[in-house]
Amino acid sequence: MVSDQQPPRVSAATWTFTLTTETGLRRTWDWADFRALPAEKFDVDLHSAQGWSVLSTHWVGVPLGVILDGLQTTAEFAQILTYSDYQTTVPLEDLQEMPTWIAHHYEGRPIPAARGGPARMLIPHLYLFKSAKWISGITLSHQDEPGVRERDGHHPYGDPWREQRRSDS
């Protein structure tokens, strides 16, 4: 696994999440706002583009449908931003149509910093490089802005069932 060496300095006390539309409209949640949103338990299998999988991991998080509810947008892409220098992009439709979450608990506890706490994305139908740890926001765009791994040659979409590991696959 290739990952950040050190978790960034962010805690629940300082965490905010900002959703920005392609026209520049913003919504920001602090930790209290975020934890007041409806959350659900979910069990998912994780698939890394490096070839390993972890089956049946247990999380609690806020479905992206809750975050995106009522949003006026014609954007096609969602750039996922973090408190580290990592970012990644997925089609907005995947966040609207597929089960995806911003998770805050892992295996019954607040997510440890090393695993992306206080909050991380979980997009289990795509390779794990799309599931950004230490999430800070989502910016909607008409462009598929390549993220850190995508610029490294990872596949722009990353479907495990089609083994879309590299952009040439």
Ligand X SMILES: Nc1nc2c(c(=O)[nH]1)N[C@H]1C(S)=C(S)[C@@H](COP(=O)(O)O)O[C@H]1N2
Give how far Cα 77 sits from Cα of 19, 21, 145, Å.
Answer: 13, 10, 8
Q: Mark the segment that binds Mo ion (CB under 5 A) among 11-19, 40-48, 63-71, 139-147.
A: 40-48
Q: Which of residues 2-21 bind ligand X (CB under 6 A)?
A: 2-4
Judged by beta carbon distances under 5 to 8 A according to partner kind, the member of ligand X, Mo ion, none in contact with residue 84 is ligand X
Contact map string, positions 126 to 155, toward Mo ion, x by CB under 5 A: ---x--------------------------
Beta strands 53-63 and 77-82: pairing type?
unpaired
Residue 164 near Mo ion by CB under 5 A: no
Q: Which of residues 73-92 bind ligand X (CB under 6 A)?
A: 82, 84, 86
DSSP string of 15-57, one letter each residue: -EEEEE-TT--EEEEEHHHHHTS--EEEEEEEE-TTS-EEEEE
Residue 132 near ligand X by CB under 6 A: yes
Which residues sit at the interface with ligand X, rule CB under 6 A?
1-4, 48, 82, 84, 86, 115-116, 128-129, 131-134, 149
